[in-house]
Structure 1
Amino acid sequence: MVGQVEEYRVVVPIQALLVNELSRPPDLCKAAQTLWQKPKHGMVKANCDGVWFEQTMRGGFGWVIRDFTGWMMQAGGQGDMFYGSTLMAEMDAIRAVLFACQQGGFSRVVVESDSQVAIKMVKGERAVTVEVDSILFDIQTAIREFQEVIFIFAPRICNKAAHEVATFACRVGGSYYWEFIPPDWLFNTLAGDVNVRVRL
C-alpha cells in the first residue's frame, strides 16, 4: 500500500504539469487570425495602415476598400506627411479611409487596422492622447455620416494590402488613388487574401 501511495505521488505531479502547460483546454483554444476575412454581404471592408519613420519624422498611410466578394473597389495612399509618432500615422490612416468611404458612397463599412491602440481609442476603450485629439474629432464626425461602421483590430498578416500601399506611398511620395483595377505590385496580395491562384 505504501508503495502505491508513493507511486501515485510521483505520477500526479507529472500529470498536473502536463495539464498546466496548456493555457486553456484544447477545445477552447481559438486560433489566431492569419487570413484576411471578407465582410458580410452589403458591407465593404476598409483596411488601412500608417507608416512613420522616427529619424525623419515623415510617414504616410495607405488604404484598400473591398466588397463582400473580396474585389477591390478603391485603394489610395499619401506619402510625405509629417507626424510626431506612429500612432498619428495610424489614426490619420483611419481618418483617410473613412473619408474615402464617404466619397465612394459606402454607407456600411468595416474599418480594419493593425494598430490596436488606435482602434481602442476610436472605440472609446482607451484614453486619447493630445497628439491625436484633433484627428479623432474628425473620425467621430465622419462616423455620424454612415449607416453602420465597425472598427476591428487585425494582425499585420491580415492587413498586408493596406501596408503595401502605405509603404509604396511613403517610398515614392505623393498622393495615389486606384479604382477597381489595382497596380500590378498589389495584385498578388489581393489575390492571395481571397485564395485566388492567379498571379502576375
Structure 2
Amino acid sequence: MKVQQKWRRPGVDWVKCNFDGAWIQQGSRGGFGAVLRDHMGDFVAAVAGPLGWTGSAFHAELCATRQALLLAQSYCPDGKRISFEDDSSLVMAAMKGKEDDCSPLGNIINDLRFMLQSFPSSKVSLVQRGCNSAAHRLIRLGLGSTHQIGWCENPPNLLRDILFEESL
C-alpha cells in the first residue's frame, strides 16, 4: 500500500516552489500553476495562466517549470535557497540532466537548466500529487483564463483553505 505524502514546510531559510502543468489534447493547449511559500508555510507569491499551443503533457510540464523559475526569480532574493517540487518524473529527470538535450523539446530543457543555475543553493524534487495540491488547483484557474494572473502577499481565495490545511 502506497502512503499518501502531504506537503511539508521547507527548512529554515528555504522557500518552497510547488508547480504543475496540465495539457488538454483537444485544442492542444495547457495551463500552469506555481506557488511560493516560506519556511513557516506562509504564502509568498503565486502565478497561474494558460499555455498557448502545447504539444504534449511533457511540453506543458516544461512550460510550467519555466513559469515557476520566473516566479522564483521575481520574488526570491539572490542567494535564497529554493526547493522546487513537481509531480512529473520526466521533468525532474530532465532538470537534473547534465548533457545538452538534443530532443525536440531540448531547447526548452536546456533553457530551464540554465535558469536553474541562478539558484545555486536550490534543489529539485519529485513529489506525489498530494504534495502539489495548491499548484494543481491553480492550473484549473489557468486553463480557464485568457492571460497570466499573479498574486503576492495575499493568496487568491481558491487557495486559502488548502494553504491553511497544508501549513498545519
**Letter in structure 2 aligned against 1:32:** V
Name the % identity.
Answer: 29
Higher helix share: 1
Q: Which of 63, 67, 77 is the equivalent residue of 1:92?
A: 63
| Matched residue, 1:183 | 156
CA distance in 2, matches of 1:81, 1:161: 22
TM-score, normalised by the number of residues in structure 1: 0.77
Matching of residues 1-200 of structure 1 within 5 Å = 32-106=3-77, 107-124=80-97, 130-195=103-168
Gap regions ≥5 residues in structure 2: none
Aligned residues: 166
CA contact (8 A) 1:47 1:111 kept: yes
TM-score, normalised by the number of residues in structure 2: 0.91
Structure 1 residues 155 and 126, CA, compared in 2 at 3 Å: closer, same or farther?
A: farther
CA contact (8 A) 1:80 1:173 kept: no
SS of the equivalent of 1:78 reads strand
Larger Rg: 1 or 2?
Answer: 1
CA contact (8 A) 2:101 2:107 kept: no
Q: CA deviation at 1:105?
A: 3.0
Q: CA deviation at 1:108?
A: 1.2
SS of the equivalent of 2:122 reads strand
Structure scoring higher RCO (CA < 8 A, sep ≥ 6) equals 2
Cα root mean square deviation, aligned: 2.1
